[in-house]
Amino acid sequence: MKIGVFALQGAFVEHEQMLERLGAEWVEIRRRADFSDCFDGVILPGGESTVQGKLLCEEGLLEPLKSVIEGGMPVFGTCAGLILLAKELSNDPNTYLGTMSVSVRRNAYGRQLGSFRCNEPFADMGTIPMVFIRAPFIESVLPQSGVQILAKVNGNIVAAREKNMLATAFHPELTEDLRVHQYFLSMIKAHE
**Cα–Cα dist 189/147, whole Å:** 20
DSSP 117: E
121's CB contacts (< 8 A; 6+ apart) are 127, 128, 151
Contact indicator for 127, 37 with CB cutoff of 8 Å: no
3-state secondary structure of 1: coil
Contact indicator for 171, 46 with CB cutoff of 8 Å: yes
Residue 105's alpha-carbon distances to 32, 89, 158, 188, in angstroms, are 29, 6, 11, 28
Q: Is 124 exposed, middle or buried (0-12, 13-18, 19+ CB in 10 A)?
A: exposed
Q: Which residues are catalytic?
A: 79, 171, 173
**Cα–Cα dist 52/47, whole Å:** 8
